[in-house]
Amino acid sequence: MTDDRDLCPCGSSKLFASCCKPLLSGTRKADTAEALMRSRYCAYLHRNSDYLLATWHSSTKPDCLDLVGIPQPDWEALEMLGTSAGGRTDTEGRVEFIAHYRLDGMPGRLHENSRFRRVDGQWYYVDGDIRA
């Protein structure tokens, strides 16, 4: 687990306690699509399926998400490539990123252009286009 005094795993260069932890614990909502994307990366890293499901848009949300019962990657780093909209006054946004991981000792990466939607002041992950 990430300690409050550690830098946030999302790569923001902020402390975990003031970056993604308040979002993961529900004491603060993401104010941008990028902030939600970063917090969801941390949720995958910490295997927090409750947070992931709570921040998934109802139109695409799976019924369940098992991050414990099957082998999961060890997430190592998040590389932000860019955003389109997704600000404090927007209702939609896109975030492109590369998430680096290891699975069974082998390095890998997930390159995705994710789509987000804000409903009643809360950002939700809708879906993403996986890039090769």
Encode pLDDT of 99-132 as tens digits. Answer: 999 999 999 999 999 999 999 999 999 999 999 7
Domain 16-131 -> CATH class: alpha beta
Contacts of 34 (CB under 8 A, 6+ apart): 80, 83, 86, 93, 95
List strands edge to edge, sheet with 92-103: 74-85, 92-103, 106-119, 122-131
The arithmetic mean of pLDDT across residues 14-31, rounded, is: 97
| Percent share of the chain, pLDDT over 70 | 99
Element (H, E) at 87: none
